[in-house]
Amino acid sequence: MTGHLLPSERHLPPGTAAPDLLGAGSLTNSWLDRWRADGRRPVLFDDKYGWLTAADVEGRSRLIARRLAAAGISFGARVLMSAGPSIDLVLAHIAALRLGAVVVPTNTAYREREFAHVLRDSSPAVVLTDTADRARWVQAAGSDATVVGAEVDVPEAGSCDLDAAGIDDPALIAYTSGTTGTPKGAVLTHGNLLASAEALRLAWRWSPDDRLVLALPLFHLHGLGVGLHGTLTAGASVVIRRRFDVGDVVEQVRDRRCTLFFGVPTMYRRLLDAGAGNDLSPLRLCVSGSAPLSEADHAAFATASGQRIIERYGMTETVITVSNPYEGERRPGTVGFPLPGVELRLHDETNEVWVRGPSVTPGYWQRPDATREVLSASGWMSSGDIGDIDECGYLKIVGRSKELIISGGYNVYPREIEDVLRDYPGVMDVAVVGRPHPEWGEQVTAFVVANGVSERQLREFAGSQLAAYKQPKLLYFVDDLPRNAMGKVLKQELTDPA
């Protein structure tokens, strides 16, 4: 290994001692400490409930925990959650964690095939969803899980044990696709999630006075593990939005006096296009992640709003491990320095980024072979990303050792799309790559060898099998695919028709 970076002191105020990131004992205990210290403090807002205080959140999550217990959730049981952002979803999430259950956050854009895989693989006792389609898919998959709505409106048990989970107990199984295209679940413990939230609290100077406008989905760790968990760990408050809308974000910043905004590059591009940058000037901090932010957009947003966006880096398996500094230069095109508690190395031969620290997953759910492929016995996790460390110690992600496509902040793995398209009658071969796109970062592009198949037919089939962000935006029919002597497709030789 080369380029070994230790946890960076540049994220901490001068003279600060090395922090105890796991001192609270569990993720939920860190929240309870905050709520009990000041029960009147506002914590959660959405359009349905208005503001809930810390005492409201503690009491309501306790009630919902009893309901989940009555529905079959016990310590260590899985509860799959696939619903739009709302206070109802957040309270159910908190309640499940307080029970010691393991939450399986599942993409609401998944089609039945994708949803069914996560359902079968995680074997949840309860599925929480807000649509009739997903409830029907549970039955169609032959699962015996109890289906509940986002409000968990079922009779509660008389009492149940709460808040017994420790730092080594699983809290989430977060599914992410691998190179085979088959989604696998990264197990994240209370300690993993607590360590990341605590590191970000310190690095970003997150305080109880902060208020986040959160327009990210809560099935993704950007919204869930960073936005929500970070807010609760800091004792701050969060304005939950059902979806991202430029006018709504501006309104919430103004009317709710928000101080933080977290988004993906596509959101910042839309804010710029709408001329809304100046409306975000009252914010204390803007953070971008899940995909690279262009240096041009970084500069344009700084000019329009006075905000120099912090870019950070992480993975589903590690939560957030690297960030540009709050104090000091926020260098465009880089993701900054390792967070407190995190070590980072670049592989000698490939420059692949490896990380180690308390936020790194102990492994994949029921996938010991997959775990051994990426996690060393000494705790180092291989990222699959290629990095470079500049003369000032900033990390820059320069490429990917695997063929991951990042479109609109979502990870898309070509093999999964290729396998789906090959299932359509008449399709003989497929190669999927990412192509640059000014708004989405990359767009899914498919090269298809087929006989008697129209573009409309193939797009309709893809639409029935894949989430919208995975469906090819560009689709080309070709006579054959370039291959080497071993038969491997040479994707670098694929060229778009003029």
The domains of the chain, with CATH numbers, are 405-493 (3.30.300.30)
Residues pairing with 343 in the sheet? 356
Q: Residue 480 above 70 pLDDT? A: yes
**pLDDT at position 178:** 44
> 321-327: long-range contacts at Cβ-Cβ below 8 A with a sequence spacing of 24 or more?
321/196, 321/355, 321/357, 321/359, 321/360, 322/355, 322/395, 323/11, 323/200, 323/203, 323/204, 324/394, 325/10, 325/11, 325/203, 326/11, 326/203, 326/204, 326/205, 326/285, 327/13
Q: Residue 196 above 90 pLDDT? A: yes
Query: How far is CA 2 from each of CA 104, 123, 372, 390, rounded to the nearest angstrom?
Result: 36, 41, 21, 13
279-335 pLDDT per residue, tens = 999 999 999 998 888 888 999 999 999 999 999 999 999 999 999 999 999 999 999
Vertex 129, ends 127 and 130: CA angle to 5°? 160
Identify the band that residue 486 occupies on the pLDDT scale cut at 50, 70 and 90. very low
Identify the band that residue 102 occupies on the pLDDT scale cut at 50, 70 and 90. very high
In which region does residue 178 sit, left (phi positive, over 0), alpha (psi from -120 to 50) or beta (all else)?
Answer: beta
393-426 pLDDT per residue, tens = 999 988 666 677 888 888 887 888 988 998 999 9
434-478 pLDDT per residue, tens = 999 988 899 999 999 999 999 999 999 999 999 999 999 999 999
* CA–CA separation, 4 and 387 (whole Å): 12
The torsion defined by the Cα of 189, 190, 193 and 195, in degrees rounded to 10, comes to -110
Q: Residue 89 above 80 pLDDT? A: yes
* CA–CA separation, 430 and 462 (whole Å): 13
Identify the band that residue 103 occupies on the pLDDT scale cut at 50, 70 and 90. very high
Other beta carbons less than 10 A from residue 330's beta carbon: 19
**What average pLDDT does range 50-74 have in this prediction?**
96
**pLDDT at position 292:** 82
* CA–CA separation, 334 and 388 (whole Å): 9
Q: Residue 2 above 70 pLDDT? A: no
With tokens 């999630």, the residue in question is: 193
Identify the band that residue 180 occupies on the pLDDT scale cut at 50, 70 and 90. very low
DSSP state of 225: I
> Percentages helix, strand, coil for the chain, rounded to the nearest 5?
30, 25, 40
- Which has the minimum average pLDDT: 31-45, 56-70, 172-186, 418-432? 172-186
**What average pLDDT does range 362-370 have in this prediction?**
96
**pLDDT at position 234:** 97
Q: Residue 485 above 60 pLDDT? A: no
Q: Residue 8 above 60 pLDDT? A: yes
Token pair listed for 351: 């420059």
Task: Give the whole-number percent of the chain exceeding pLDDT 70.
Answer: 97
Q: Residue 168 above 60 pLDDT? A: yes
* CA–CA separation, 237 and 258 (whole Å): 9
Task: State the average pLDDT for the chain.
Answer: 93
Helix residue ranges, H only, 277-353: 295-305
Identify the band that residue 181 occupies on the pLDDT scale cut at 50, 70 and 90. low
Residues pairing with 476 in the sheet? 447
Biggest CA pair distance of the chain = 70
**pLDDT at position 372:** 96
Q: How far does CA 11 lie from the centroid of its chain? A: 22
Q: Residue 12 above 70 pLDDT? A: yes
Token pair listed for 341: 């508690």
106-134 pLDDT per residue, tens = 999 899 999 999 999 999 999 999 999 99
* CA–CA separation, 320 and 195 (whole Å): 10
